[in-house]
Each structure stands twice: as structure tokens, then as C-alpha cells.
Chain A
Amino acid sequence: MSKIKKKRLGFVLDMTPLVDITFLLLTFFMFTAKFKSESENQQKVEIKRPKTQADTAKLADKDLVMVKVGVDSVLKDTAWYVSMINEQDITSLRQSMLEAKFPGADDKTVSFKVTDTVWLGKIVQSCRVVNPKASFAIDADKRLRYEWIEKAVNEMRKNRATTFNFVTEKRQGL
């Protein structure tokens, strides 16, 4: 009651907790950030993944053969893009593809663009040889004709890769 009101001139706010939290968040985001890999950089296709609701598993981040099916944004042709996730697998796959004289392959290729089933079969076979443990994942655009996926599945089946994954995106909400 009898307190004298002082005019606050220099008003100080303790910023320490704010800065603490900010650093914490910064560290979190820095560690969780995943940068684009080399194979993603090379690719010129945009894939709109099909959306699903069911509880599905997360995509493995190693021992994986990625078969992307998409339409090239420049050439407007559909093709399979085969790549492997493990670094040493890519190197071995590249070597075997160079030996097989894969058209358009050089010593920097990480994602092999395939347009016919003969080469697709060969590359799937090489992937199986390079890493027998690797599982296959098909990442295809939802607007594509099913034929492209069916052909890829058939090639995998021929090489006894009977278990594979379809890469999807979780639908938000219901």
C-alpha cells in the first residue's frame, strides 16, 4: 500500500531460459536433419507417392535396393531408376554394370536409369549378387500405369526376391 511507485527506466528481462531452449532446439534439428544423398541429387524425377492409412513400417535406411519408377521431367519418359543405399554396394554395383556395358553408365553413376525389362532383369540380378541381404523397395508415382510396377515385380520374382516393399506416404488424419 505504502509502496512508492517507481518509474521503470531500464527494464531487464532474463533471456537465459530462452537462449537455453533455443540452443536445445537448434541441436535437435541439426542432428535430425538429413541431407540429400548423391543419388537423390542426380535424379530429375518427381515422385508423388501413393497415400495409405494403414499402419505401415518405416523404410529401412540400409541394405536396400531402391527401384524408383517415375517420369523424367525433361524427357517425359517413364523409366526405372535403380540404386542401392549402402555406399560400398553402389560401388560394387557400378563396377558390375560397367563390366556389363550398361548404356550411359560411367564411374560416377549412382542411380541407373533403365527403360527395358532385359536390363532391369540384369541389374536386379547384379543387386542380388552384390548384397544378398538387401531388400527391394519400389517407389513409384501413383499416377503411373500398373504395368511398370508389374514388370519390376516380375523381374524381382525371377531373381527370387519375393519380399519387397512399396514406398508410400502416410495420409495425414483420416
Chain B
Amino acid sequence: MAGGGGDLGGGKTQRRGKKGKRKSKKRLGFRLDMTPLVDITFLLLTFFMLTTSMITPQTMEMNVPPEMDVPIEVKQSELLTLRLREDGVIFYNMGLDAPEKIALKALRKVVIDQNVQLKNRCIVVLKASADAPYGLVVSILDELNMAEPEILSGLKAAGINERKRKFTVAPMEAKDIEEIKGL
């Protein structure tokens, strides 16, 4: 202030003067310490890697017939009934045959055989007891889904190229419960 507002050039010289004898160097190789940046990056990377879950839920599509007053007649001989008892035992029968116990692992073969034998006309009905675990119901559905490719190839071998899947879930009735009770 005392200098009386000298021009820009004047101010510059004064500053330079203050700093003394330092030589102004042209900086050629300029270095920035990247360590903190990389540190933080790694930290974030670890955080996101650990919090991301890669397993996305899958879905299994199901179709149920709409509510209708008119029951649809189907041939008993083309009907494959699967019943799941409350203790997790699976029974199967074709048409009016007596229900037979079957293991979950053996189910696939039966479904494939019946579908190929009946040449696409087989209708699979799953009746699950209200007290059966849901996980087992899904396992049965899974087995049925897994059977599909083999049914397709089986049908192809028999000269049928089209596959019409007929599958439904039905409620367990008192009659069904009675039928598989003592087995």
C-alpha cells in the first residue's frame, strides 16, 4: 500500500525480491505420488468385490389352468398322477393303476418312458399334500424339467418333432389321501 499502487510489473518484482535467490527452474519430469490414490482404489475394490453377490435368483415358470366350472375330460390311460405324501414319499400311477412308491431320483426315468411311450399325449398331474415341504415340490418340478430334453430326443427318435407339454398341479383330495395312506 505504501508503494502507492504500483503497476503490475512493480508488484512482481517486489515478490520476486522477497523470495530471494531461488532460481526458477522449468519442471520437466513432474512426479505425483499415486500411493494414496491406489490405496483408496484397492480399498473400494475390495469393498465392492466382497459386497456384490453374483448369484442371481432363478425362476421356474409355472402354468395353472384358470378357474373353470366345466371340467375337462381326459383319458385316464394318458394320465400320470404323481402324489406327494406329507412325509415326503412320492407315489406315481398311470391311469387307474394302483399307486406305487417311487424315489425322487427314479422319477425322471418313469416320466421320460411314459412320455415317449404315449407319444406326447401323456398328461402329468402333480398332487402335493398340504403338509409336504415346498422344497420337495420344487425338486419334483425340477426333475420334470430335467426330463424334458430326454423326452424331446426320445420323441424325435420316434419321429415326432413337436413337443406339447401337458403338466398341471392339482389339489390333493380326500380320495387321494385315502389311496396312498397305508402304502
A22 near B45 with CB under 8 A, answer yes
B52 near A162 with CB under 8 A, answer no
Q: Mark B24-58, 1 if CB is under 8 A from A, else 0.
A: 00000000001000100110110011011001111
B59 near A167 with CB under 8 A, answer yes
Chain B contacts of A167 at CB under 8 A? Answer: 57-60
In this complex, how many residues of chain A approach chain B with their Cβ under 8 Å: the count is 49
Which residues 10-28 of A have a CB within 8 angstroms of B? Answer: 15, 19, 22-23, 25-26
Q: Mark B137-170, 1 if CB is under 8 A from A, else 0.
A: 1110110011010000000000000000000010
Partner of B57, one of A15, A22, A59, A145: A59
B60 near A162 with CB under 8 A, answer no
Partner of B42, one of A22, A32, A169: A22
Which residues 70-128 of B have a CB within 8 angstroms of A? Answer: 84, 128
A32 to chain B, nearest CB (A): 6
Chain A contacts of B57 at CB under 8 A? Answer: 49, 58-59, 139, 167-169
Chain B contacts of A169 at CB under 8 A? Answer: 55, 57-58
Chain B contacts of A150 at CB under 8 A? Answer: 128, 130, 171
Partner of B135, one of A50, A148, A157: A50
B45 near A148 with CB under 8 A, answer no
Closest residue of chain A to B45 (Cβ to Cβ) is A26
Chain A contacts of B137 at CB under 8 A? Answer: 146, 149
Question: Given A33-B52, A153-B64, A169-B57, list of 7 further CB < 8 A pairs?
Answer: A22-B38, A50-B138, A57-B59, A57-B61, A59-B59, A145-B134, A146-B132
Interface residues of A (CB under 8 A from B): 15, 19, 22-23, 25-26, 29-30, 32-34, 49-50, 52-54, 56-60, 69, 137, 139-150, 153, 156-158, 160, 162-170
Q: Which 5 A-B pairs have the closest CB atoms?
A: A142-B135, A29-B48, A147-B130, A54-B145, A165-B59
